[in-house]
Amino acid sequence: MLTKCSSSLQSGSTVTTLMNLFDQYPLKAIGQAIRPYALSPVPNDHQAPQGTFLSAITGQRTMSELGRLSTSATGPANAAIMFRTWGLTKQEPSLKEEFYGPNFTYREFMNACGFLKGVLMHYSLLIGAVFVLLPPFRALIKRAVFKPGDGPDREKTKSEIIEFRAVAKPDVDTENRRQILGRLQYTGSMYYLTAALLAQAARTMLEDTDDARLTGGICTPACLGGRYINHLEHVGLKFTTEVQHL
């Protein structure tokens, strides 16, 4: 999955929440929480495809559909949600028709405009992750950024852009080989986007979703079905899909 994002600085509350996470929980607990199947109700031993030695060193790889890619900061968190969806569609009778299959894998990357930029992105994340583990550095960050409740100028956030692109390929070889390209685009404040995602999810659960579909527990966005996407389109999100024959 490819992520493109052009946004303002993070708000004080966002940064404080991240710093407090490392203040409150030991590194071992955080490491366990971001394992791919940590949130899945069903275990899975299927291993994701491994990159080359060069990609491990540089953090980069290239896909014909997406171009040059680098390490994504949000990859582990989003993967945990995706694999929870995998587990729910396998476990819940009302969702089994949407099961992704036993060999499902998910990997997320960030768009890299060039080789050097991609390497810098990769090592910036690695070095930043090391520094965040140091309490003095976290204290310094809290003093340097916006205070909780403050953030970037509202007018500037109106021009923020985020785009996700996804490539889905079946794991079964058939004569009619094909893949799906998907794209999600949004222009506007990322905080408005967060509010819209939450509000429309609540609306979908309250108004539209068949009671037999959701039986309770902690659901993921995919569990809400197509009506959730319809509601999101009405508040500014754009979804497009394309079937490609290989």
Give pLDDT, residue 164.
Answer: 92
User: Per-residue confidence at 235, pLDDT binned at 50, 70, 90?
Assistant: very high
In a domain, 47, yes or no: no
pTM: 0.85
Q: CA distances (Å), 134 to each of 68, 77, 160, 226, in order?
A: 32, 21, 31, 44
pLDDT tens digit string along 139-165?
888 887 767 666 667 777 888 889 999
Q: What percent of the chain has pLDDT over 90?
A: 33
Residue at 203: amino acid letter: R
The DSSP secondary structure of 186-197, one letter per residue, reads EES-HHHHHHHH
> How far apart, in Å, do the first and last CA atoms of the chain sit?
19
Q: Residue 125: inside a domain, yes or no?
A: yes
Mean pLDDT of 21-38: 87
- 145 found inside a domain: yes
Number of domains in the chain: 1
Structure confidence by residue, pLDDT tens digits, 168-222: 988 776 677 889 999 999 999 888 999 999 999 999 988 865 666 777 788 999 9
Tell me whether strands 109-111 and 2-6 are parallel, antiparallel or unpaired: parallel
Give the model's pLDDT for residue 50: 80
pLDDT digits (tens, 9 = 90+) for 96-125: 999 998 889 999 999 888 889 889 989 998
Residue 182 within any structural domain of the chain: yes
pLDDT band per the 50, 70, 90 thresholds, residue 2: low
- pLDDT band for position 10 (cuts 50, 70, 90): low
Give the pLDDT band (50/70/90) at residue 77: confident
Rounded Cα–Cα distance for residues 124 and 137 (Å): 15
Per-residue b/e over 122-159, b at no fewer than 16 CB within 10 Å?
beebeeeeeeeeeeeebeeebeebbeeeebbeeeebee
Q: What range defines the domain where residue 136 resides?
A: 2-42+53-245
- Residue 228 belongs to some domain of the structure: yes
Tell whether 48 is covered by a domain.
Answer: no
pLDDT for the residue numbered 113: 82
Residue 67 placed within a domain: yes
pLDDT at 11: 63
Residue where the block lists tokens 């070095």: 127
Q: Which amino acid is at 142?
A: K
Q: What per-residue confidence (pLDDT) applies to 238?
A: 97
Is 217 part of any domain?
yes
Order of strands, sheet of 2-6, starting from the edge strand that comes earlier in the sequence: 61-63, 67-71, 109-111, 2-6, 161-168, 178-187, 238-245
Statement: residue 47 has pLDDT above 80: no
pLDDT for res 148: 67
Distance in angstroms (rounded) separating the CA atoms of residues 104 and 170: 9
Mean pLDDT of the chain: 85
Cα–Cα distance, 17 to 149 (Å, whole number): 12
